[in-house]
Amino acid sequence: MTAELDFSRGAAFCEGRFVPIAEAKISILDWGFTRSDVTYDVVHARNGAFFRLADHLDRFERSLKVFRLAPPYDRGQIETILGQCVVLSGLRDAYVAMVCTRGRPRVAGSRKPADCDNTFAAYAIPWIDVIPLDVQARGAHLWIASTPRIPAASIDPTAKNYHWGDLTRGLFEAHDAGADTAVLLDAEGYVTEGPGFNVFAIRNGEVLTPDRGALEGITRQSVLDVCAAAGIPARIAPLRADDLLDADEVFCATTAGGVMPASRVNGRILSNDRPGPLSLRLRELYWSLHDTGRHATPVNFDDADHPFKT
């Protein structure tokens, strides 16, 4: 059946079946939409293999626990579904998302999250760079927004969520100022993260990334891993706006883009207005880590009959 469908722009698993990405939709009444009561994770495939898939699945499970969500599929089934989305899409480099929403109440009229049947969806679409490649090439221009990040006490930033209103407001501030993207501080003035990425500062050869208000990024972990392997000092530490403004180099890190160098923060020029040397080295080390195969889970592209039945 699926053989007749066009998955070339992406393949999704939605409402229990595989569909082209254009048909992947959720009900306008799903609390995942009307209450942003949803969690997700994104893993990437590179050269036909998932990268750090187990880490992403581990984090997805932690996020599910935080939000008290339970998808109707177990970890093994989810892994099969993700693989099948990539197979159907035919994409060897892909952005692969898994999503669990609260769904809708089983009990008519109930307003209790516990009465809802949670839903699961997944999709594989062409690779995305959170900061476009041409911008990465000259170094991203970051903007420290005045909008404060939603506090961890209200929404746990280590559990992936779609509460992006503060990040969107920050993005508008950045674009209004002619910058590429935003970095948000918390109410106490500490650096947290940007829309979809962790941020790093390099000072005197040391690599620093915020200790609060941010996702515990898996790409962030890869950066710390390659630093450790290469003997580059790196630390998770409190950072303030001045630590970015006065840094020798700044870069961003995320699954959808990898290590992405910056060259300006609030108009202030860093590393001669181009990607800094240590940022470039870390980018190279990050991609080299893929070549080792250490974190690779190959996708079986011959498996086009998608054994996963619902």
List interacting residues with its own copies (CB under 8 A).
12, 14, 21-22, 24-29, 32-38, 40, 67-68, 99, 102, 109, 111-114, 121, 123, 125, 128-132, 147-151, 153-155, 161-169, 171-172, 175, 181, 187, 195-196
8 Å CB contact between 14 and 30: no
User: In angstroms, what is the minimal distance from the CB of 34 to its own copies?
Assistant: 6
8 Å CB contact between 43 and 81: no
User: In angstroms, what is the minimal distance from the CB of 154 to its own copies?
Assistant: 4
CA 162, chain centre distance (Å): 11
User: In angstroms, what is the minimal distance from the CB of 24 to its own copies?
Assistant: 4
The nearer residue to its own copies, 9 or 294, going by C-beta atoms, is 9
The nearer residue to its own copies, 34 or 272, going by C-beta atoms, is 34
The nearer residue to its own copies, 43 or 232, going by C-beta atoms, is 43
CA distance linking residue 41 with residue 96, whole number of Å: 8
The nearer residue to its own copies, 38 or 201, going by C-beta atoms, is 38
The nearer residue to its own copies, 161 or 271, going by C-beta atoms, is 161
User: In angstroms, what is the minimal distance from the CB of 259 to its own copies?
Assistant: 17
Query: Which has the closest alpha carbon to 310: 4, 19, 101?
Result: 19
CA distance linking residue 65 with residue 102, whole number of Å: 13
Three-state secondary structure call for residue 285: helix
| CB atoms inside a 10 Å sphere around CB 80 | 17
